[in-house]
Each structure stands twice: as structure tokens, then as C-alpha cells.
Structure 1
């Protein structure tokens, strides 16, 4: 009892005791809010531990500033810092409820649509329990006012204050080390702000975002119109005209982009134990009315899927480090495919995705790209067993998407992002319909099972398109976003491909992913042109008859007769029909033999290709990091205003219904204002378990 009284006296009559009390209250409050106010997707003991730990180091570091002062000032400085941290927490609760993301300096700085809309509706979105963010402040002030806490006016020894700050920094380092071990590339890839908060905490996210914003501002501040002129000069000089034989053959048609997650080209026609892994995609690939590319490569960097989307929509590369969509998607100016198609050809534009809207900053970047609608996970039923890895299973995703597809006014530009064929390639037994491979590599062996499931889902969607007649009026584009099996699995890759060995050059060729354009009546065939994701938009525009001469883009139509066929990799490697470079070594592409003693002519050719690669990657980086498109608006194009877009479900669907009634061109109207849901047939076992 005496010890308890002594502790109570220390707690209420010393500065360190008050500091401990403030920290513990702030810690418990913050953890409670993390768990109950945010959807951070915490899984596994490590993530739960880090979520519990991460409020502490930053709180000790910041509130501990008050320990350096003497007298009453010391106490009130700690209270004020605690209040400011609580206000930041409260603001993020409101912002997250509205936008499923955290406040960033770029959002605050630009006062964009997000902050404007939040300000207008702040009363409507506030809940009484949100004020728990200030609960500890109220308690502390009451205890100080009633003199339960007696202020210790003595100055604390400097070495004690410094030791506390040093311990806070040490714990921050430990927190970061543990987080990086559990999630490699946490701070460099920046795929979701939820991950930063989950692992490092709200205050660490604010510091990280501040540093990132300062770096971005420094680069943007130096950028000017002359920087853009050099980019325009290069693009004009190297412009490749589209193929006139294909120009506009799909004019006015719907465009359905099917995003094949982690899907590599080798899966086409691949058999395991005599069974086709992807029979539906094989059929499409070889169809007479499908243009299929067998030398099409992914070109992603750390941004993975987001890099693929950046190239698809903008014909600009991802960044050397991190994700362009995450870092620049909110604030930059873009002249993207959806905005161009909406303005120049009257398209309704939409993305459907059974995963979190905040992942890769999609809920912000899509507004900058000019997408009319974005239907993420919040638009879908997510029952137990529906979700796997990064979103709803593909069959369930397609099934639930019908109610949105049939109401899109035509012509539409729709991107559907699949997720089931995503690392770690694990799917529940009831959805397995092909055996795993037997390389012994756990990462690799499940790949054919999830790819087979994806293929089945594609088959079900294609059947629906045929039954409803949508296929006749739709250009269907299927593309693989990036590799599924990384370069860390050479032995298993060799076994899959039935090769005696698998080296870095083989891995470079392994970066092939599918690209197909399918439309009834299209003059198809397998096209051997070398190209990459940077070339998708110009190729699509070639088919749609969209004039792209005045747009800033670094790709070329793969249908063009004089396509350059130089495929850049984000790390500077490249592939051409003749030569390839990987990790500083050069190879003959057709034979795979290393070029050891190149002739003078070969040296000159390799230098020319390398210069092209370096120039285009550099120019693309300058466009994005300098936000250079703000200095230029192409003819017949109106700059995208993010304030014009909202993806809140109720508001968005209401707007879609109004647009549908006005245009009367949706599949629903064409079907006599009757749903076509019954025409989508799926064997998804989850729907049978009712």
C-alpha cells in the first residue's frame, strides 16, 4: 500500500509522472481509434503488435518537447501538443470516413475536391464517438484545474529530457525495422497509405508525407514551360503515325479492358498434366477476330499494378522508385485515356474493382484521370469466403458487376480489375479445379490454380457478353499487368518451362504478358511486333480512330508498320527483336547468346538503343515529377477538374441513373428496361452455399 501511495504521489506531483500519464492516455486512446475508426486491414500477430506499438514513439518524441521547459509552461506545452495531435487524429477520422484515406499535405495544400466536399458536409459525417479523440485532453485539463495534478515548477535535468527523446527515436527505429521486415519496401513503394499508418502510425505517416511533399514541391518549383517544350520536341520528332488500315475500325464501340492480374504470356497454351490452364483465354488468343501480341512485355517498376495502369491510361512510365499513382495521382495534371474518350467521343468511363478503393491511391488518381465512376469494394457484397488476398474472387466480382455494367450508357470505356491471380496464388479447395505444379517452390506451384480460376471467370464473362449482344458492339482488350513469378525463382521457372536452366536473360523474356484486342469482324491474327505497356494507349486509339498527335505520350501504336520495337524496362534494361540488355550485359534476342565482342556497327546500334531508353525514361520522369502537363492543354481538350468527380456510392449511383435515363443507351434500356443478371451464369461455389 505504501508503494502504491508513493507511486500516486510521484505521478501527481512530478513532471515525469504527469508526462507518463499524458502519454499512456494518448497511447490507449489512439489505439482504440485505430481499431474502431479505421479499416487498416490488420492481420497476423506482427501487424497487431505494431499497431499497438506505433502510437508510442512519436507521442513520446513530440509531447516530450514539453520536458525541456520549466514552470507551468512545461505542463501546458505538453497539453497543447497533445491537443494538436488529437486534432490531427480527429480530422483524419472525418476525412477517412468520407474518402477511405488519410489527410495528406498535397490535399491540404491544393484544397482540392476532397477537402472542399469534406468542409461542406462535416456536420453530416461527424459522429458523437469521434470526440473520443479529445477525451484524454478533457480528463487532463479537469485534473489540472482541480489540482489533482500539482505542477512541479522545477526544471527537469537536461540529460533526462534528452534520454527520453533518444529512447523515442530508438523505438521509432525499432518500429520501422520491424515494419520493413514484415512489409518489404514499405516506404519506397507507397502502395497504400493504410499500410503506412498500420505499421508506423498516424504521426509517422504525417512526417513521411511531409518529406515526400517537400521533395515533390522542390522539383515542381523548378519546373517550367521550357521543360515541357523539350518533351514536346522529342515526341514530335519521334512520332509514329498509326496504321491507316486499322484506323477507326472500332470507332464508337464500347471498350472493355480486362486487367489480368499477374498474368504472364507463358500461360497461354500452357498445359499441366495434359490439362489446359487457360482454355478460354487460349480460344480468344487464337480467334480470327482477335489481334494477339506474343512479344508484348510488362514494363513496371516498384509501382507494379499502378505502373501498368499509369502506362495504360497515360502512355507515361511509372517512376524509378515508388508509385506515380500513389505519389502524384492526387495533385498532378493528367491527360488520360478516359478523359480523352469522354470529351472527344462521348464515352461513359468507369472502373470496377473488388478491392479497397484506397489501394494505389486509386480513389484519388482516377479523378485526376477523368473517370466518371469508380466502383471499388464498398460497392460489392463481401460475405465470409468472398474475399481472398486483395479483393473479391473474380467470379463473384464479375457476377456482382453485372448490375453496374448493364446501366452504363453506351459507348462506355470500362476497366475491370481482377485480383484472384495475385501472389501468394492461394485459393480455397472448393475453387481448385487443376492440380498444383510440383516444382517444390511454394510461391510458384499454386500459380496455375489461380490462373485457371481467373480463366474460368473470363469464360463466364465472355458468355454473358455473347448472350446479351454486348460482344457485338464492344472492343474487348485483355492485358497482363506484370509478372506473376519473379526473378527469384529461377529453378522453379526452368521446371515450368521444361528448360535445363534459367538465367537472367531468360527472366527478361519471361516478362512477356498477354495483350489481345477482340471484336467480332476485326481482322485478327498473332502479331509478332515487340512492344510494351507504354504502347497500349496509342494502339487502342489507333483502333478507335482517336487522333493522338497533340498529346504527350511516349508510346507508339503496335499496329504501325514502322513501330520502333524498342521495349524499355524501368531499370534501364531493354528488349528489341535483335538485341537485349539485362543487368549490364548484352544479348542477341533470338539466340540468347551474350554479345562478348561486338563489332563497331553493333556497338553503335546498342548505344543508340540505350540512348533512346535513357531519354524516354528521363522525359517521362520529368513530366510526372515536374507536373509538366499543367503547362499545356491540347486542342479540343478541357483540363480535368477533380472537383467534378465523386465516387461515394449513393451519390455516384444516383448520378449514373440520371445519366442513363437521359441517354437511354444502356444495355438495361436496350433490354426493355429489364435486368440481364440472369444471363450471367457462374459455378462459383460460394453462391450455392445459401
Structure 2
């Protein structure tokens, strides 16, 4: 009798569970995947995530729980599948760009790096299947549930109340997560934290996407940037007044006045290949030789953001930082820019940009004129006599044809060249098509071997170009700057390479080393030379070159590397290093670079605060087009 009574008591519980099994499975699945995603891409999760991860699952559930069971099953399964696709896309994108997707990036899908498109299989790992495993398993189970005896539904009123309660609970968990990270960062994270990984770390990838959509939509409604009061704009302008009075008396000021300027941005070149030998063979013999008669900066960092190569161009030519999200070339193409080409144009220079790819790619054809370039020579201006791996003209042909064009330019000129062949994933250099003159020894046939061959090929073509400048008398009348645009070895490619290259076993410290790109500045005559060990970044090249040419920019955030005693490199995500210590904004940790051990943040607060201030000023200037107001009249 008692057994029957107990069974009767359990029947409602059993009916409730079988009637809502998909609800429990959905919440559990989304919750687990939020943690699994962080594990797969190597971002550790904070304590806040434990509660915050419930938010998106409950919010989504609240939208569908009031539906009839058939439609509820279909919707929950479809949404779960969509979430798996989003997480898989985020994981692949993260391995290439070290960041997760955002709305502005999705709006630029037309210019997503072809290397990313062609390398998806290489960036995919078997562990990624775990993000979709629940969908594969759940689909037949949930379809089977549709064939079970029909469960009596509660009244519409009851279901709507349940839906509202679940939505409120979801909002509570999501907003509490947002509040807690905002409190963690001194109630500034929603406006001044620049690292997407910080949000993924603390509140999960789904909450990050909710925030990203909200942030993008609110900015669009507000007209992109936040409203700037006149007094705030004036205080920002005052930051630059000091710059105007510090040019005269600077070391080497005007030493190359009236000389031509040739700047070459080299695709994916890292400092680690400079002076590197494999079994006694130099990877970059021509650049090594040039360095002996030039200034060389071994601790110079890429400061590109989600715009990658385009960001490197922008930061270098404008001395402002990349956009928080997306690429400035697409988000703010019509802004007023007080760039290096515009400054030199005022000094009587002819200004030309050269890149042998589609003019529309990265919106260059639109942006370059606003930056002050008189002309842009793109793919249509070159004879496509030798192409490489889907990337168009080879660097050898590009630089050879560019030399012929440069010879005919009105002097003095500023020529900005962007190379392309040495592009990730370097497959053309693994088939002995290019760079086969270089024997990578035991690394032949590996990713590292292909990268080294690509860098040797880039060095070879640069050597030929430099020889051509000498033969045409341009070496003696031109300042030449050569630098790398961004890292060539991605975070996901470092496993097995760290030991070979002598990198730190700590992934973040090893990746920081990958962000070092070479900067070489050659001044005619070769008398001004030497290795400059101070830490700097691409934002510093504009004021450095302007000083050598005797020009004085008015609005810039970088430092003249040949005069400044400070060592500092600020990254788009808010991380910062002075060459001795590094602060990673994603984790809020500092590390001593000599020992690799964690260090307290107290002694580094000045630099952390300066990084935030510089990025905030840059963002406000770009988002509100303040340079147009500053230069009016």
C-alpha cells in the first residue's frame, strides 16, 4: 500500500521531468559549453562565470518555454545548434586573431583575411567537435520525445508567467555578471576595458556577445561615439599642445630634411627571424646587412587590432591606436586624419601608396585619399606576371615594378609600400615553389620551416629592391624604414615551437614575444646607426620619422624613439609593457619578463593607467572625428 502511495506521489514528478526534459538538457548543455569553450581556446574562467553562464541559457529558454512542445523542441534544438556554430566560429577566429568575433567584424566579412578562409581546416582541432557533440546526441533523443504520449499543457497564462519568471531570472544572472566585472574594474569596464578576452574570461562567450550587440547598437543609435562636451574636447586637445613645443633641439631633428621617404610594411615579419641562423644559415642576410648601417629597434611591437594589416598601416601613418572593434578603414573611412602623408604633403612631398592587391580590399581606395596620399597604385596598376598562392603578385615582381614607378615620382616623395607574399599559412613556401633557396634543416616540411622560408623569401626580395635603389641613386637621397605589420606565428601555432625558438613556456609570455616586429630606419650615408633597445610600438614611427625629416606633427600619441627615454608599448586590448614588466589586461596580472614569474600590479599602476588613458583619448578622437574640429579654421 505504501509502495503504491509513494508511486502515486512520484508520478507528478516523473510527468514534470519527462514533460520538460528538453528544458533541463538545454540549460545544462549551454552551461557546460560556456566553460568548455574557454578550456578549448585556452582562456581560463573567473569565479563570476559560474553564475553568469546561466544567464544566456535562461534568457533563451524564457523565449521558448511557453510554446507548445513540438515547437519548443524544434526551437531549442535549433538555437543550441546555432550556439555551437557561433562558438566554433569564435574558436577558429580566436586562433588566428587572438580575439573573438564582434558585430563590426561580422559586418566586414567581405574582407575577412583570405588566409583565414583558406586555413579553417588547419585552425580546426578535434576538440572543437565537443562544442557540437550535444546537438548531435540530443537531436535523435528530442525527436523521439515528440512521439511520446502527449503531455497535457498548462494554461496559456501559466506558461506565460513561467516564461516571464525564467526571463527575469536570466536577466538577473547576466546583469549580475556584468555588474561584478564592472565592480572588479572600478566601474569602468563597460566603457574602458578593451580586451574581448576579459569578458569571455569572466562572464562567458555568450554574455560577451550579448554585451557586444548591446554596445554596438547603443553606439549606432548615439551616432558611433559618445557625445563629447566642448570642455572635454578642449581637455583632449590640450594633451597635444605639449607636442608642439618639443621639436626644436631634439636629437637628429631635420638631419634628413628634404630627403625622400620610403616605408615598407612587410607581411608577417617578426623580430625573431632577424639575425637568426639555422645550421649556420642566415634567415634574413640582407636585412642583417642593412642593420649594420641603420638604426635597429629589436623591442618594437605590433599594435594592430582586429583590422590586422590595415590596423598596422593606420597606426604607423597616424600615431593613433586601432579601433576597439573592427577596422578604422571600414568604420571611420571619411574621418579627418592628420597623418604622415598629409604632413609631408604640406612640405611639398608627392605621396604614393603601393600594394599589388585589389584596391577595394580593406577599403584602401576610399581611405588613402583621406590620409593624404596623392595616388594609390593597386593591382590594376601592375602587370600580373608572377602570382603566388591566391595572393596575387609576388613580392619580387611587386617590388621590382614598384621601383620602376618610384624612379618616376616627383621628388621629394613619400612612398608607402605594403608587401603580401609572406602571408599566413605560408603554404606556397612548403611546396618548394618559393624560398627553396633556404634550407630550414630539421624544420623542413613543418609550419616553422614554411615560415622561415617565407621570411627568407621576403628578405631576398627586399635585398633586390635595396640594390635597385642603390643602382638608381635613390639610396643616397632617401630615408628607408622597414617594419613588420603583425605576428606571423599565431597563438595556436606555438605548440612545439616555443622550445625551438627559446620562448617562455608561459603561453602569454611566448605570444608577447611573437608580437615583436623588426623596425629598421636607414638614413642616407649610414653614419647614423646603432641598436636601440628601448621598447616601443608602431604608434611611435610617425613622430620618429617626422623628426628626422624636420617636420612637426600636431596631433599624435606616439613618441620619437630616437629621443624619448621612456620604454613603453601599449596594446589594443589594454595590455602594456615597458620591456621589464608586462601587464595582461585579460587576466589583470603582471609578469616580470626576465624571470617569467608573476609580479604585483602596484608598482606598474602608472603604466596601466597611462595605457587606459591613451586608448581612451584615441577612441574619443576617432569615434567623434575630433581632428576635424581641432584643425578647423
The answer to whether structure 1 residue 194 and structure 2 residue 197 are counterparts is no
Question: Among residues 244, 266, 275, which one is paired with 2:272 in the alignment?
Answer: 266
Q: Which position in structure 1 is the counterpart of 2:519?
A: 515
Mapping for residues 387-406 of structure 1, pairs under 5 Å: 387-406=388-407
CA distance in structure 1 between the partners assigned to 2:464 and 2:445 by the alignment: 31
- Cα shift readout 1:501-540 (whole Å, capped 9, x = no counterpart): 3532232133211111112324111111211111110101
Mapping for residues 2-151 of structure 1, pairs under 5 Å: none
Q: State the aligned residue count.
A: 449
Q: Which position in structure 1 is the counterpart of 2:624?
A: 626
Gaps of 5+ in 2: 1-67, 94-100, 117-212
Contact in 1 for aligned 2:275/2:282 (Cα 8 Å): yes
Partner of 1:392: helix, strand, or coil?
coil
TM-fit CA distance, 1:315: 0.4
Q: Which position in structure 1 is the counterpart of 2:236?
A: 231
- Cα shift readout 1:166-196 (whole Å, capped 9, x = no counterpart): 9xx99x9799869958983485436956348
Q: TM-score, normalised by structure 1?
A: 0.59
Q: Which position in structure 2 is the counterpart of 1:276?
A: 282
Q: Which position in structure 2 is the counterpart of 1:540?
A: 545
Contact in 2 for aligned 1:425/1:446 (Cα 8 Å): yes
- Cα shift readout 1:402-457 (whole Å, capped 9, x = no counterpart): 33212110110001111111101122523222234656995433100111111000
The answer to whether structure 1 residue 559 and structure 2 residue 565 are counterparts is no
Partner of 1:429: helix, strand, or coil?
coil
Q: Which position in structure 2 is the counterpart of 1:369?
A: 371
Question: Among residues 458, 464, 468, which one is paired with 1:460 in the alignment?
Answer: 464
- Cα shift readout 1:581-626 (whole Å, capped 9, x = no counterpart): 1242212233333215x7xxxx2x3111111000001110111111
CA distance in structure 2 between the partners assigned to 1:397 and 1:351 by the alignment: 13
CA distance in structure 2 between the partners assigned to 1:227 and 1:298 by the alignment: 30
Mapping for residues 439-450 of structure 1, pairs under 5 Å: 442-450=446-454
TM-fit CA distance, 1:296: 1.0
Q: Which position in structure 2 is the counterpart of 1:504?
A: 508
Question: Among residues 330, 350, 353, which one is paired with 1:351 in the alignment?
Answer: 353
TM-fit CA distance, 1:373: 0.6
CA distance in structure 2 between the partners assigned to 1:580 and 1:441 by the alignment: 34
Cα RMSD for the two superposed structures: 3.5
CA distance in structure 1 between the partners assigned to 2:261 and 2:578 by the alignment: 29
Q: Which position in structure 1 is the counterpart of 2:577?
A: 575
The answer to whether structure 1 residue 471 and structure 2 residue 469 are counterparts is no
Relative distance call for 1:191 and 1:360 in structure 2 (3 A) is farther
CA distance in structure 2 between the partners assigned to 1:609 and 1:409 by the alignment: 43
Partner of 2:223: helix, strand, or coil?
helix
Relative distance call for 1:437 and 1:417 in structure 2 (3 A) is farther
Q: Which position in structure 1 is the counterpart of 2:250?
A: 244
The answer to whether structure 1 residue 342 and structure 2 residue 342 are counterparts is no
TM-fit CA distance, 1:391: 3.4
Contact in 2 for aligned 1:255/1:412 (Cα 8 Å): yes
TM-fit CA distance, 1:379: 1.1
Contact in 1 for aligned 2:488/2:514 (Cα 8 Å): no
Question: Among residues 253, 264, 267, which one is paired with 2:259 in the alignment?
Answer: 253
Relative distance call for 1:195 and 1:341 in structure 2 (3 A) is closer
Gaps of 5+ in 1: 1-158, 200-207, 636-690
CA distance in structure 1 between the partners assigned to 2:488 and 2:398 by the alignment: 21
TM-fit CA distance, 1:285: 1.5
Relative distance call for 1:175 and 1:566 in structure 2 (3 A) is closer
TM-fit CA distance, 1:386: 1.2
TM-fit CA distance, 1:365: 1.0
TM-fit CA distance, 1:500: 7.5
Contact in 1 for aligned 2:388/2:421 (Cα 8 Å): no
TM-fit CA distance, 1:489: 3.0
Relative distance call for 1:442 and 1:628 in structure 2 (3 A) is farther
CA distance in structure 2 between the partners assigned to 1:215 and 1:625 by the alignment: 11
CA distance in structure 2 between the partners assigned to 1:570 and 1:499 by the alignment: 23
Partner of 1:577: helix, strand, or coil?
coil
The answer to whether structure 1 residue 332 and structure 2 residue 330 are counterparts is no
The answer to whether structure 1 residue 424 and structure 2 residue 422 are counterparts is no
Contact in 1 for aligned 2:350/2:414 (Cα 8 Å): yes
Contact in 1 for aligned 2:395/2:421 (Cα 8 Å): yes
Relative distance call for 1:190 and 1:419 in structure 2 (3 A) is farther
Q: Which position in structure 2 is the counterpart of 1:79?
A: none
CA distance in structure 1 between the partners assigned to 2:87 and 2:577 by the alignment: 38
- Cα shift readout 1:324-383 (whole Å, capped 9, x = no counterpart): 122112x2111111111001x100000111112122111111011010010111111225
Q: Which position in structure 2 is the counterpart of 1:528?
A: 533
